[in-house]
Amino acid sequence: MPAPVIVVGAGLAGLATACRLAGAGHQVTVLEREPIPGGRGGRIRDQGFSFDTGPTVMTMPSLVADTLAAAGSELDELLPMRKLDPAYQAQYADGSRIRVRSGHAEMRAEIASTSGEHDARGFDDFVSWLGELYDVEMDNFIDRNFDSPVDLVTRPLVAARLLRLGGFGRLGPAVRRFFDDDRLQKLFSFQAMYAGLPPETALALYAVITYMDSIAGVYVPEGGMHAVPTALATAAERAGVTFRYGVDVADVLGSGGKVAGVRLSDGEVLRADAVVLTPDLPVAYRAFFPELTPPWGVRHGTYSPSAVVWHVGVRGGLPADRVHHNIHFGEQWNEAFEALIRRRELMPDPSRLVTVPSATDPSLAPEGCSTLYVLEPVPNLSGDVDWSVETDRMRERLLGFLDREGYPTDVVTEELFTPVTWRHLGMEQGTPFALAHTMRQTGPFRPGNVEPRRPGVFFAGSGTVPGVGVPMVLISGKLAAERVDAWLGKR
């Protein structure tokens, strides 16, 4: 008989874990408190508008394809998507714009026309450098389970190569080696924010996020981003995974020193030989293991800044000079990150992302209307922002910003997510971006995906290895499945 495994949470990490384990022949049950799959990547529907509440940027579709293939399904059938061109449009405080084009030659031409031939040649070298970083990091540091930091010394040649590439230097200076135009410096370093770090001082090895984002390309699935968890859930079900929605897990049970299953909030007991938990790790320890002292990184971790996300359904179409993803850079840069990350205050001159899913898929809004996703980075709840006062002010500032930038502002329906919202949804310190990717919270130094004091308990998600973002969370599910498969094989 296949060993029973329970996965708690049907977000991308839980779904990836379930697909991998089902493909390996295990009997898997996924328990999800919401009525649909998706976790942080959920969906709100109201008055004909569809809002994706989680990630809006889809990169590295090959990782989704690999996950689906592990469960016996194909990407083209379950998750058709297309590459965006441009991937982004960057708008600067001086009124200038640069588009991130799909393809090396196209982006080189864009840089030549906006910033000059010198920076276009720099882009050639930049792409080569990013490609080398990606090749080194993916197999050796990202898509890999570590048992301890000592594992790093098992591949000294790889570490030496990363050192030679300048991966342990700082991202800001590294990017400036290739570009004189400070607009390009911002465009190719802002991705460090995904890792919860200021671009100027983040380790250069996090430029691998820029590779995934701006070089490998940005995609859009048919039906919006919620189509990703929907496709993974479909593949898992086809592979034999049982899903139970609308259920809360109250306890993780043990017997004879090993995990024995879970108890639901209504008292029902489900037996299992392994349990994979996908909530943020501090949340999981408080809920399920209050008798244990969590690992140091869980207790004392540094968390990423948060974000305000305003989902807005408006009457009116997108102006001709806007695209699917629009980045509006503030004039201040280092000063804004100093306020956000060091002083934990609102950015004095914020940069913002405006995604317009209905620009690519009109089915996400009623005819003649648009679906907008407006994001501004803000401090997590360790800061001193009083959201009982600031929420209404933030909404008015964002409305004024949209109006100034020419977006439609005749609001039909809206949902404003603040750090308080994220905390209510179970995200530690009110941030959807989990632990920041500081050096002490990366690779083998990040909280692990195994709880050795409760044999048979494993973790997946952005709070554990390898980290934050759709690609990383999918890999997290793969790494957790490898742990479970090895554990069950020893029994």
pLDDT in tens, 46-86: 999 999 999 999 999 999 999 999 999 999 999 999 999 99
- pTM for the complete prediction? 0.97
Closest CA to 451 of 303, 230, 245, 275: 275
Question: Is there a contact between 5 and 275 (Cβ–Cβ < 8 Å)?
Answer: yes
Separation of alpha carbons 301 and 434, rounded Å: 9
| Model pLDDT, residue 434 | 95
List of the chain residues with pLDDT < 70: 1, 491
| Model pLDDT, residue 193 | 85
| Model pLDDT, residue 158 | 86
DSSP three-state, residue 435? strand
pLDDT in tens, 330-364: 999 999 999 999 999 999 999 999 999 999 999 99
Q: Give the ranges where 138-277 is alpha helix by DSSP (H).
A: 156-164, 171-176, 182-187, 207-210, 227-238
Q: Give the ranges where 116-222 is alpha helix by DSSP (H).
A: 117-137, 156-164, 171-176, 182-187, 207-210
CATH architecture of 4-41+224-301+435-490: 3-Layer(bba) Sandwich (3.50)
Which residue carries 């911002």 as its tokens? 186
Q: Which residue spans of the chain are classified as CATH 3.50.50.60?
A: 4-41+224-301+435-490
Question: Is there a contact between 424 and 418 (Cβ–Cβ < 8 Å)?
Answer: no
